[in-house]
Structure 1
Amino acid sequence: MPVFLVDAVAEAHAVLEGPEGRHAAAVRRIRPGERVDLTDGAGAVGECVVRETLKDGLVLDVLRRYTVPAPAPRIVVVQALPKGDRGELAVEMMTEVGVDVIVPWAASRSITQWRGDKAAKALGKWRATAREAGKQARRFHRAEVAELATTRDVVRLAEQAALALVLHEAAARPLARVELPGSGDIMMIVGPEGGVAETELAAFTEAGAVPALLGPTVLRTSTAGVAAAAVLQARTGRW
C-alpha cells in the first residue's frame, strides 16, 4: 500500500491534502476504493480506504489505527560529505535499510564542503531524500537527518553512544565480530573519499570509538554506510 506522511493520524476520517494530497491524487492517481496508509513518522499508522478523490487530495475512511514501536537499538550513521549527488544516494539507501539517524559530517578530507546558503540547500536535499525514501520503504518511523556536524561534534556523539564504531581499512577487528551492547545507540562513522585523517581517528578512539573493518574490498563512502548498517541490522536482530 502507498504510504503518506501526515502531521497526525485521525481516528475515523481524514482528508489528505497539501503536497502529499496532490501527489496522491494528481501523480499517483489513486481512486475511490483503493487502500492507502497514513503515518506521522513517529510510529502512528492509519490503514485507510479512499472514499472520494479531490482535485488536490483524498477523503479517507480510517479502518484501523495502531502504533509501531520504535526499532531498537537505534543505529546512527555519521556520514562524511561525499562528492556530487552521492550524498543523496547514501541517504536514500541508508533510509531504505532502516538507519535511524544520519549525521552529515564535514571531515577534514571531504572534497565537498557545505558553506553558507549551500549548506541549507544541501541539508534540505538530504532531508527530502530521507522523507521520500522512508515512504517508499514503508517506514513508519522517519529517518532523522541531523544538522551538519564538525569533528568535535562527532567526538561528543561518540562519547554518548553505547557503542561507537569507525569504519577503517586498517582495523584488525571485523565489524561482524565486534561485541555489541545490550541496549543504547550504536553509532558508525563513515569517512570521506580520502579516508579518515589520523588526527580524526585518534580523537574518535580517545572518545571510545572502536575501529572496525567492513570487509576485504574497498567501498565508496556513499555505499559503506548502507553495507555496514545491513550487517548491524542482522546482528542486532532488527532484521
Structure 2
Amino acid sequence: MALHFIVDTPEQLAGESVTLTGPEAHHAAAVRRVRVGEAVTLGDGVGTWVSGTVTSVAPKLVEISLDERRHIADENPRIVLVQALAKGDRDERAVEAATELGVSAIVPWQASRSVSRWDAGKVAKGVARWQSIAREASKQAHRAWVPVVSDPVTTAQLTARAGEVSIVVLEPSASDALTTLSLPKDRDVWLVVGPEGGITPEELATLANAGATLSRMGTTVLRTSTAGPAALAALSVVLGRW
C-alpha cells in the first residue's frame, strides 16, 4: 500500500504538484524513506484524497506530482469519542486507537474521578497533544478525515448536547448491551468513556436523566484506554461499516 501524507491546508493540493517541507518532509524522507518514482497518497484531513508520484527527495523538501483527485465524504452518522482525562498515557492511547478505528471527533471530558486535570494553563497544550496524536494515527490508518479534538467539557456541558446527539455512556453495570441499541441514523453518536475509577453514580444519574443511554460491553471491565476503541469496533459492525 502506498505511503500516505497529510498537508497543512487544502490549498496545497489544488495544483498539479505539492512540496512537502518541515516535519512532514522529514517524516517522508528520513522516517519513511520515500524514493523518487514511488507512488504515494496525500490528503488535507477534511476529505480531499490525491494520488501522486515522488519526483524529488531531500532531507527537508519532498516534491510530488499529483494525479487522480477525489473527495471522500465523512461518515454518517459520525461517532464522537468523549474520553475522560486519565493518568499516564492511557487517554492518549485511547485517542490513537480510536483514530485508527474511524472515530470522527474527540472530546476530552473532565470527569469527577479524573486523576489528570487540565487547568487553564494546560488546556491548549493538552488539546494540541491529542490533535497531534490523531493526525499521526490518521496517516498510519490512511484516513481522509483527521478527527478534530475539541476543548474539554464538563458533565454539564456534555448533558447539554443530549437533545442534539445520541449519547451512549459505557458502563459495565448497565443492563443493555451496546450491540442491541437502536440508534437513530440521523444523529451523531457520542460514546462516553469514564476515567480509571469509573463514572460516579451522580454523573451516571445526571447523564441518564438528560437522555443518555447507559450501555455495557460483555462481562468484563475494560481499561479507559481500551473501552472506547472496543466500542467503536462494535458500532462499526452494527452500522455496517465493517
TM superposition score normalised by structure 1: 0.95
Decide which of 51, 59, 84 is 1:55's aligned counterpart: 59
C-alpha offsets along residues 107-136 of structure 1, whole Å, 9 cap, x if unaligned? Answer: 001111111333332222211111100100
> RMSD value over aligned CA atoms?
1.3
User: Structure 2: where are the runs of 5+ without partners?
Assistant: none
1:40-189 paired onto structure 2 within 5 Å:
40-161=44-165, 163-189=166-192
Mapped to 2, the partners of 1:188 and 1:202 lie a distance apart of 16
Q: Which runs of 5+ in 1 are unaligned?
A: none
Deviation at 1:95, TM superposition (A): 0.4
CA–CA separation in structure 1 for the residues paired with 2:35 and 2:170: 47
Is the contact between residue 196 and residue 224 of structure 2 (CA under 8 Å) also seen in structure 1? Answer: yes
Q: Secondary structure at the match of 1:234?
A: helix
Contact 1:24-1:57 at 8 Å conserved across structures: no
Please name the residue that 2:238 is paired with.
Answer: 235
Q: Does 1:192 align with 2:195?
A: yes
Query: Are the counterparts in 1 of residues 18 and 65 from structure 2 also a CA contact under 8 Å?
Result: yes
Deviation (angstroms), 1:18: 2.3
CA distance in 1, matches of 2:144, 2:241: 15
Cα separation, 2, equivalents of 1:29 and 1:197 = 48
Moved over 4 A (4+): none
Deviation, structure 1 residue 28: 2.1
Residue equivalent to 1:204: 207
8 Å CA contact 1:76, 1:101 repeated in 2: yes
1:56 CA displacement: 1.0
1:231 and 1:56 map into 2 onto residues whose CA distance is 41
The alpha carbon displacement at 1:177 in A equals 0.3
CA distance in 2, matches of 1:158, 1:81: 21
| Identical positions, percent | 44
Structure 1, residues 24-46: CA drift from partner, whole Å, max 9, x if none? 12332211101111100011011
In the alignment, the residues of structure 1 paired with residue 50 and residue 101 of structure 2 have an alpha-carbon distance, to the nearest angstrom, of 23
Instruction: State the Cα distance separating 1:222 from its structure 2 match.
Output: 1.1
Please state if 1:20 is matched with 2:20.
Answer: no
Distance in 2 separating the partners of 1:237 and 1:41: 23
* Number of aligned positions between the proteins: 238
TM-score normalised by L of structure 2: 0.94
Structure 2: distance between partners of 1:43 and 1:189: 26
SS at the partner of 1:136?
helix
Q: Specify the SS of the correspondent of 1:113.
A: coil
